[in-house]
Amino acid sequence: MTLLLPLFIALLLVALPRLLPLPVASTAGAPAAAAATWHACELPDPPASPRPQAGAAPSNLLYLPLGLHPADRCLHGPLVVEGLIRIRPPLQFWRICAGEIRFGDCSRTPTGIARAGAGRNQVEEGEYRVAAGGCLEGDLLVRGDLFLGRYSRVLGSVQVEGGVWMDEGAEVAGGILARGSVRVGRRSRVAGPLSAGRSISLGRDCVVGAQGRPTTVSADRVRINEGCKVYGQVLAEKGAQVNALAGAEASREPV
């Protein structure tokens, strides 16, 4: 019995630490450590956007990917921009309004012309033609179709009960109001406004309006070739279509 008692005490001392519960580790310092790690990993502030230089005119470029189907290259709803906007064709839209609208490459487009002062009124019955290089002063009312020859000029506004065909380089230093369709030839200029009861076709390198003299181009349908420039707005109730130039010239960036 005397020998068993010391042996029992020794076994109890060995097994007792295993029977007692483990001490709970303190977590009081964990939140502070986590906070320190969070602050150390904070993202830097985003760089500030560069501010435009004072007096610099805004230059906006609007284009849709060329990989889209032609029916998807469409601008739904009106677009109103202050200053300059550049349109890369092809594109379909209904209304665009800006101080200056450049459709594609306008590097060869002439400057706009101002409206002529008041002059005499001339009325013509039936079809009327202005010869190539001719000049007509004053407003013109035509009760038929009007044909303007190459580089001819009308120093006034035009009101036509039929259609208007402007050959290359023809100028109207005033507005055009036609019940039919209006075709503006290449490098032609119209002070504006330009309104047609049916459709309007704007040729390459033509210009409507002038710097600081915004105007309006309006018709049911408007067809615009690349290189055309309009100061003001283009309205087309049934849609306007901007067409790109064919061949190598189509890849040029608008300027």
Region 80-100 average pLDDT: 91
Return the SS3 of 70. Answer: helix
Q: Is the pLDDT of residue 220 over 80?
A: yes
For residues 6 and 13, give the distance between their C-alpha atoms in angstroms, rounded to a whole number. Answer: 11
CA of residue 218 relative to chain centroid, distance: 17
Q: Which of 21-30, 35-44, 140-149, 243-252 bottoms out in mean pLDDT, i.e. has the lowest?
A: 35-44
- pLDDT grade for 24, boundaries at 50, 70 and 90: very low
Q: Which two tokens stand for residue 87?
A: 């349109």
- The better pLDDT of the pair 29, 162 is held by 162
For residues 79 and 233, give the distance between their C-alpha atoms in angstroms, rounded to a whole number. Answer: 10
Q: Is the pLDDT of residue 228 over 60?
A: yes
Q: Is the pLDDT of residue 82 over 90?
A: no
- pLDDT grade for 126, boundaries at 50, 70 and 90: very high
- pTM for the full model? 0.71
For residues 139 and 123, give the distance between their C-alpha atoms in angstroms, rounded to a whole number. Answer: 9
For residues 203 and 46, give the distance between their C-alpha atoms in angstroms, rounded to a whole number. Answer: 46
Percent of the chain with pLDDT over 70: 68
Asked whether the beta carbons of 202 and 218 are under 8 A apart, the reply is no
Chain mean pLDDT for the chain? 79
User: What are the extents of the domains in the chain?
Assistant: 85-245
Region 167-196 average pLDDT: 97
Q: Is the pLDDT of residue 50 over 50?
A: no
